[in-house]
């Protein structure tokens, strides 16, 4: 995240891919910016996808914390 916005490369990626019935789980690392500022714009680029709540992690997040978050999503991985 940079000043509350996702990197432009994500916008390009979402614009150019067919997500069909995919589930998208947005996440990021950031020292201070939240994730919510760009979610509406990202959703608009892949409206056919199912969007789950996003998560921002600090730079100090551990691998175990991320793994616990992923496990708690209830996705069939």
Our measurement of the distance from residue 4's CA atom to the centroid of its chain's CA atoms, rounded to an integer in Å, reads 13
Crossing angle for the helix pair 36-45 and 8-16, to the nearest 10 degrees = 20
Which residues face 15 on adjacent strands? none
CA distance 64 to 19: 29
pTM: 0.81
Instruction: Specify whether the CB–CB gap between 19 and 47 falls below 8 A.
Output: no
User: Per residue in 61-77, pLDDT tens?
Assistant: 999 999 999 999 999 87
Across residues 34-58, what is the average pLDDT?
87
């Amino acid at each position: 995240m940079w000043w509350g916005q996702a990197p432009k490369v994500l916008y390009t990626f979402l614009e150019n891919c067919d997500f069909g019935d995919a589930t998208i789980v947005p996440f990021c690392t950031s020292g201070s910016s939240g994730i919510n500022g760009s979610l509406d714009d990202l959703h608009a680029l892949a409206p056919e996808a199912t969007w789950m709540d996003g998560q921002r992690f600090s730079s100090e997040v551990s691998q175990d914390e991320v793994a616990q978050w992923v496990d708690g999503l209830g996705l069939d991985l």
